[in-house]
Amino acid sequence: MALVDYGLSSSSSSSEDEEIQPIIKDQTSLKRSRPALPTAATLLGPKLVRLHQQQDSDEGEDNPDCHGGRIRSFKHERGNWATYVYVPAETCVEQLEDFQNAALSLLEPLQLDMQPNEQPFHLSLSKTIVLQHHQIEEFSRSLKDSLESQCGFFVCLQDLRIYTNEERTRTFIAVEVSAAYKEKLCLILKPIDRVMLDYRLPQFYDPPSFHVSLLWCVGDHESVLKEKLNELSSLLETEDTLLLNVNKLHCKCGNKQFIYKLK
């Protein structure tokens, strides 16, 4: 928020009164006697102090304790908007939640402090990239134009897999898209990657990994969780077929959401 200093808003009436006076005052004495103009700090008082404290806090070092121990992949800077493209997993939410609860009970003895992945469930079609505020609308229009000819379809979620992020600071349990449907998703991915290339942004992983993250924990625990993979897979097999309707894509830019419906 810009702070406005109102400057000479009350000076005109004062100078008119002085012109009526018959005595001409010395300019030097006028300068000395003229009271200082109010500043934004004096006008706003404690509000301004709190604002600066908040800004200092916002621009300070990243604190993992504020978000479950997670460490940012890139430093937070004012004006940077974390952005990613995804398919919402809306058609199988109840089944995925049932698996989450059963898996948390199974893994509790490991004391890894496993956490359910943030809602809503989704299948990512881009890496998390950074946009400047002035780029957001144009970037969204480019995505919309690139997806105009794409048709919707269903995919099946089938096999569990253990992942780590690129920094190996978090470990995930995710369910992958069945191999039979990956080609269809690649057709959707191509125009998204072209837009990323146009904006000189990183494209999706090569080869791509299409999955929905379900649980996560802080640290690199890939080997420990792989030992439990068979038991976890048995839990997933008790669920009905997990179908994901790819009929729209979302682009999340900070607190902004853009939706692109497919044919």
Active-site residue flag, 221: no
Token pair 């790819």 is found at 246
Amino acid letter for position 167: E
Active-site residue flag, 122: yes
* Residue (of 211, 212, 213, 216) closest to 104 by Cα position: 216
Packing angle of the helix pair 229-237, 93-107 (nearest 10 deg): 150
Whole-number Å distance between alpha carbons of 252 and 42: 40
Q: Are 89 and 120 in contact (CB under 8 A)?
A: yes
67, 76, 211, 221: the catalytic one is 211
Residue 251 burial class via C-beta count within 10 angstroms: exposed 0-12, middle 13-18, buried 19 and up = buried
122, 134, 221, 250: the catalytic one is 122
Tell me the backbone φ, ψ of residue 41, rounded to 5 degrees: -65, -40
Active site residues per annotation: 122, 211
